[in-house]
Structure 1
């Protein structure tokens, strides 16, 4: 049995004045799930988060939380009445309060505030720092305090606005996984805003990719990578290149890599020009292959090496080889396609420039 829907956005549009930042947005978040709004700067993801929190009015559409409409044009339920918690980018801790007092601030009128604060500090592994002040903590510790404070009132939904952007790369990776574990342990639903896809994939059950105010796709991280709905999603998520092809049969495309057969029929007429998405893990070394590619660049990752390759047609690809298969720049390597499916889009008008994914 699937989990009930907690949050629904229906045909949501919002912005400032007459300028629409977000347009016709629709999505559902299930209870207990962690969602993410992902996209480049200025795409509308933070505006959407602020609208959910109650900080921005709607121009059209509505927001429903736990079966109750909390926003529509002309009506906005006050933020403090929404049972929504918020973790800000700059943590927004009170410098004159101890860690324990910060965590208990939103529940300071409850007689059990001490017990709740102690439980949450144990959950975020800061129980020994309860009497310290924010300036005595590291950035990661401050973020944990901000998370515990937001969880203290037991919100129905937690919103996180680029919560890891002020941390270094390694700490971001560790803390993002830790935050996911904490939210899952409490069964707390959440929506995260980020422009970092690695962070989005590590934390989230569902990810929405935004572009210029429109939601391009709301899906699992796996589907965003392997089944992108639009060329923008394909190029924004992960690495890869598009190569030009011609549809020879409903499931077969002629390309510079030879004939490639997918696992489905594509809705284009035979003879149509198409663009085929190929990820680095779709291209594998094949020493005996007649198809040879020129190595133009290599990046060593330890367990694997990422090679940038040029086909005889002049088209470019990237491929991940096991690191012990070492090839120098300027050499030629045998390759083949090892994709169990193909992602195919109608070809863009010829520009002389190959699209990079």
Structure 2
């Protein structure tokens, strides 16, 4: 199964929701559409599933244009954000809702119940199930049609953190076992990192970056992407003629192809700290917060109002004291 999304545009009134969106997904791949709320993810999913039509652009399935096919013809399984279970139907009836009578066999039901960990619950109604069990029913219903593509729209948003972790791992294991081609929509980086083979990061209806989770995390193309996928440190800098970058925290021996004012991006875990004057950047610990296994530092300096926040393991430097920092050159990225 090969799906191509090509130059999709969609507007509601004067609001351009999707702008020239293009990407592909291969058989067995798990792709995550991610980005902040309102960036166009759910609208794009509705277009892929046939619940909406684009103003322009095409959806291609195995090279065939399915842009205007009805949802049932596409044979895509869909797990909605609110699950959309029917309260007056029991588990069995919910799972079999989209199947023809001849396909509603006992063996099919048992297979789906075992696959999703719902054995013995087929006669219960949604209100008699836990949040995690309801999630499994919605997944079993989507799998019942033997979908060409499985679409998960914010599937974990209604679960508490502990349950979400458990259900997420179960779904990940199941998708891997069944090798189901899947599109996951989530605004949580942790969901995308655990489940996805590849990420498509969206903002304001446009694709910002596409790549593997590790590549997007380590090599973001913009401050937005860097901050969306975890804690980041961005320091303002200015190139000098000596292949160094001057910042308000000191100078870095770092050569950048970009001129004048730049922004230096780095992940906190790559920053080394010391209470001795053996690193080239320094600042004052304005605030130090205890966060269980980590300390969170707010570091500033006297010359400007610029500061950085840094999560680190136990820090030997207290509030009001000077802290020294070092970042390996190969762990620094430059943004204009």
How high is the TM-score relative to the length of structure 1?
0.85
Distance 1:302 1:339, change over 3 A: farther
CA-to-aligned-CA distance 1:187-243 (integer Å, 9 cap, x gap): 111112222222222221222221111111122221222111223222332222321
Unaligned runs of 5+ in 2: none
Shift of 1:147: 0.5
Matched, 1:114 2:106: yes
**291, 296, 302: which one aligns with 2:292:** 302
Q: Which moved more, 1:83-92 or 1:302-311?
A: 302-311
User: Contact between 1:205 and 1:221, CA under 8 Å: does it hold in 2?
Assistant: yes
Which residue of 1 is the match for residue 267 of structure 2?
Answer: 279
Whole-Å separation in 2 of the counterparts to 1:230 and 1:250: 26
Whole-Å separation in 2 of the counterparts to 1:222 and 1:251: 29
Which residue of 1 is the match for residue 4 of structure 2?
Answer: 8
Whole-Å separation in 2 of the counterparts to 1:250 and 1:163: 52
CA-to-aligned-CA distance 1:38-83 (integer Å, 9 cap, x gap): 1222211111010001111111111112332111xxxx00110001
Matched, 1:82 2:70: no
The 3-state SS of whatever aligns with 2:311 is strand
The 3-state SS of whatever aligns with 1:110 is helix
What RMSD over aligned residues (CA atoms) do the two structures have, in Å? 2.3
Unaligned runs of 5+ in 1: 347-357
Number of residue pairs matched? 332
Which residue of 1 is the match for residue 29 of structure 2?
Answer: 33
The 3-state SS of whatever aligns with 1:268 is coil
Distance 1:53 1:275, change over 3 A: same
Distance 1:339 1:32, change over 3 A: farther
Whole-Å separation in 2 of the counterparts to 1:107 and 1:83: 11
Whole-Å separation in 1 of the counterparts to 2:112 and 2:329: 46
Whole-Å separation in 2 of the counterparts to 1:298 and 1:97: 54
Shift of 1:308: 2.1
Which residue of 1 is the match for residue 54 of structure 2?
Answer: 58
Which residue of 2 is the match for residue 353 of structure 1?
Answer: none
**142, 147, 168: which one aligns with 2:134:** 142
Q: Which moved more, 1:166-175 or 1:330-339?
A: 330-339
User: Contact between 2:199 and 2:212, CA under 8 Å: does it hold in 1?
Assistant: yes
User: Contact between 1:282 and 1:339, CA under 8 Å: does it hold in 2?
Assistant: no
